[in-house]
Structure formats: C-alpha cells, structure tokens
A and B are shown apart, each in its own frame.
Chain A
C-alpha cells in the first residue's frame, strides 16, 4: 500500500484522451487535413475561425483535447516501445520522452490558447 503507484492517474488520462481523440479528431482531421486543402469544402476564414476559438468553451475544449490526447499518446507509445521493441531496459528514457513530450505539448497548448488575441 505504501508505494501506491500513479498508474491509475496515467490510465485515467490515457482513457480520457482516448475518448476525446475518438470523438473529435477524425472529423477535425478530415476537415482540415483533407476536405479544406483539397477544396471539397469551403474553408472558414481567419475571422470566423478566430471568433470560434475565442469562445471560452472552445478554448477549454481545445486545451483538454491537446492535453488528454498527448497523454493518451504518451501512455500508449510507452507500452508500444517496450513491448513492441522489447527495450524495457531503456525504461527511464522512454518515460522521459513520452511523458516529457506530453507535458511540453500541454504547456505549449496552454500558452497558445491563453495568449490568443
């Protein structure tokens, strides 16, 4: 009991990220990655986009999306690396890379959203 692991927290973030990514990313990626660039749909312009993003709820939503999705990635990728490639001995480095990456990304997201005009 003494050394309670923090796995539940990481797992919760992973799961939250899984949900957020599953619901939001496919459509966003479809629109911004394919439909708009290929001209299948008319892309909303700068004004409209900014106006949307400025809405506090959207800001919060985007922040959560970035934050959770990154932790989702970190958790899965960490296991993929050490099961898939069997490089368990590099464990500390892997953890640093994955969770470090997620934390950095989250901070960047917070900064960008916070400082949006």
Chain B
C-alpha cells in the first residue's frame, strides 16, 4: 500500500528539470568530486606503467635500460607529473574520508575525524620512507 499517494490521482502538471550533462561544472564542490573520481584514471595509468616496467625487467638489462630512457621522454614526464598530482589528490581525499566510514571510539567518546585520519598520514610517510630506503640502499 502506498499511503498518501493513494488519492493523488489527478496529477497536476509538475515541472521537472533534467540534470544537465555539465552538472559537475556548476559548483566547485561537484568539480572537486569529479576530479577525485578522475584520479582513478591516473591510478590505472600508473599500473600500466608498472606493467611495462615489469615487462622490461623480464626482457633483460637491455630492455630495462630502454624503458628507463623512454621514461625520460618530456611528454611522458609531463604526463607523469600530472598523474602524480592526481594520485596525490586521491591519497589525501582518501585518507580524509576514512573517518566517515569508520567510527572510532575511545572510552565511549567518538574520536574527532582529524585524529582518525592522522594515523593514515603517519603510515603513509612510513611506507613512502621504507620504499625510498629499499630502492636507494645501495645507490
């Protein structure tokens, strides 16, 4: 049973506006959302680079050198620069949103969002440091 609509049989002329295709450009917050969603494309882009790198590794020292040279192509550097900004954006938004999905309580009190997000950043730093350390250990 649908209450309240049951007797609304004489529909007046309702006016509906369609959401425009460019809805996401209407507001800064929507645009930010779209950019956040688009960051996923750059995530995938990086995975492709990674796969190419693995492929090169499989091909031996020669191929790997070639791959490294390829990465120096200015076009690719620019592209990677843009990608880097996007994945950075992804990481920051992602860490900030965690507290929304997870309510952490300490002695019955809900922890403020900032405190829940903070360990994310700490871990991020640690992991990044570890990777740099592993890669640079022997120069």
Contact = CB atoms under 8 A, between A and B. Distances in A.
A43 B94 contact: no
B65 A41 contact: no
A9 B37 CA distance: 19
B87 A44 contact: no
Given A26-B88, A29-B80, A66 B128 contact: no
Interface string A12-31: 00000111011111111111
Contacts of A92: none
Interface residues of A, number: 55
Nearest to B91: A22
Contacts of A96: none
The 8 lowest CB-CB distance pairs between A and B, nearest first, are A33-B80, A76-B40, A73-B44, A22-B91, A27-B128, A112-B54, A22-B94, A73-B40
28 contacts: A18-B94, A19-B94, A21-B90, A22-B87, A22-B91, A23-B123, A23-B127, A26-B88, A29-B83, A31-B132, A32-B49, A33-B46, A33-B83, A34-B81, A34-B84, A37-B68, A37-B71, A37-B76, A37-B80, A50-B57, A73-B40, A73-B47, A79-B37, A85-B21, A101-B44, A105-B44, A112-B55, A116-B54
